[in-house]
A and B are shown apart, each in its own frame.
Chain A
Amino acid sequence: MSVQRQDWSLHRKGSIDQQRHKEKVREAIKKNLSDIVSEENIIMSDGKKQIKVPIRSLEQYRFRYDTGRQTHSGQGSGKSKVGDVIAKDPSDQQGQGAGKGKGDAGEEPGEEYYEAEISVDELAALIFEDLGLPNLEEKRKAEIEVETVRFTDIRKKGPMGNLDKKHTIMENLKRNAAQGDPSFHDIQSDDLRFKTWETTVRHESNAVVIAMMDVSGSMGDFEKYIARSFYFWMVRFLRTKYTNVQIVFISHHTEAKEVTEDEFFHRGESGGTQVSSAYELALEIIKERYTPADWNIYPFHFSDGDNLPWDNDRCVQLVEELMRQCNIFGYGEIREAHYRSPSTLMSAFSKITDKKFTAVTIGDRREVYPALRKFFSTRGEPVPEAP
């Protein structure tokens, strides 16, 4: 018989397998991004909290009894009797009565699944892992260099103002302990430690998203929600690439105006649609506030495409003008699946061949993610010229 202790500090099996489990969680999330991207509790959150993502593929299936239809044994405190309720199942809304048909077995709402916790930022990193910003190079010269000072090192000599008290005390304790008296006293110049700094150059870069949306009578809650999910991720993505990202919200029906974020997503208007009004306002704002020399500009427009027919040609002209000043121009048409043919606006846009132009059609929530991917797939690689 013996009592021993060994050094276990290099033993890492548990954490290695834990790492593999984490990888599998990430894989599972990636596979389900289409569903997760337009999850309401993420889009409506402040973007800071941890969110829970259900993952069914990591369930450990086995042959087991149906707990909901099985008797279990328990122990009371002396006074239990038949009919006592010992627990309630809040998640089970529909109530699984005994003796239902076999088809319902195990598919009750209370079915367990594994939930992974992940922050919105981690999720954004997963979504944009292999995406990049198209047409970035022309803005390189617009980056502003900023000098900053960072305290990064500890040295023995330095000005008293930069004395690092914590390290000085630690050195003093060490020296005293080495002499057999582990206490803090008798500071000598050998004990002193100073912080030193180095200067680094940081590249400031700016981006502005010009979010345009049709708020005419034909745009309902569904259309607005889709636009909102899209902008939510888009802004998050641009923040990973630029130090300063601003958003301008423009809503339009037959005329356009700049609005607050809240108004943008919540106020509905009625009336017809004249898309060119929004593009004109966007050009004006760019001219006044965001010189293309200093700003990376990302105009995006969401509409259901029901534009006044005589306005379409004007729109194409304005989009071409916008593309001369901006990194990319995105047009998203939100049409629920029962509309089969593209709108007249979309047909007009189909004539544009510039690779800065991207148009997508979104028919349901699951298509937000593919749309994001389409907008941000790196088009940096040279497109072969037509012979």
Chain B
Amino acid sequence: MFNLFLLQLLNGAQFGILLFLVAAGLTLVFGIMDFINLAHGVLYMVGGYVMAMMMGMTGNFWLSLAMVLPMTLAVGLVLELLVFRRLYDRSHLDQVLATFGLVLVLSELVRILWGSAPLSVAMPEVLAGSVPLAGPMRYPVYRLAVIGTGLAVALSLWFVIARTRVGMLLRAGAANRAMVSALGADINRLFMLVFAAGAMLAGFAGAIVSPILSVDPGMGDGILILTFVVIVIGGVGSVKGAFCAALLVGIVDTLGRMFGPIILRTMMDPAAAAQAGRTIAPMLVYILMAAVLFWRPAGLFGRAVAR
């Protein structure tokens, strides 16, 4: 039982790390520009597809992964230039309309280019094995590598945000955009940078997850909504909050699906427990989010700002 718990805990952490990679860029876009971007999940999907395409062309995992970064960065920059830049000063509703349209456009483009069938990406041989976990259980190296990579990204993000000039402007921008702008910082260029970097991180997440999950046109949708949950639980604009909330959501979701029915079985008869478990497990993260917002309306690490 303990081994199973450990295994699921690692799976949850790995899922949480992925959520964090997607959420990190989005929470800054949300926080600094007060901008609702529904198209962020699509960038995650684009990352997966670019990875699959590069793997098909080169056959080399590391080369493909290295190519994904500039390409998703470019996609982010193009989108920012063509669409997002014109929407900063508009209402949330116009932003929803435009980015919802972008979701449709980009998902359909992906369908036209690569078809609707899921694509798979081969795992690099170095990371294909598994290592012994407690007892007879083994854990795939690749998933551990994903966790390690995510932690490294989180650490470097923390460094950029807490220790550099750009990071200082970001923190200031999240707190009071107008003031930063009045003090002479080019807030629009800053946002372009944040947006492109966020797109790159989301694309990177899509690329590294592609050997574990398959790449399909619907992959962006599911992660988008969970990313919103992460951002709101963590507090809009807070990367630290996003990190904690992503791990929390990843672990709660994974453990809930596994252990929810087991715990319920101690309280009611097995058939009812199975049904109730199936019903409650996917709702858990949303219940968590509603509960967090009930007690802390601005999220765990968010500042209560009057908007």
A and B: partners?
Answer: no
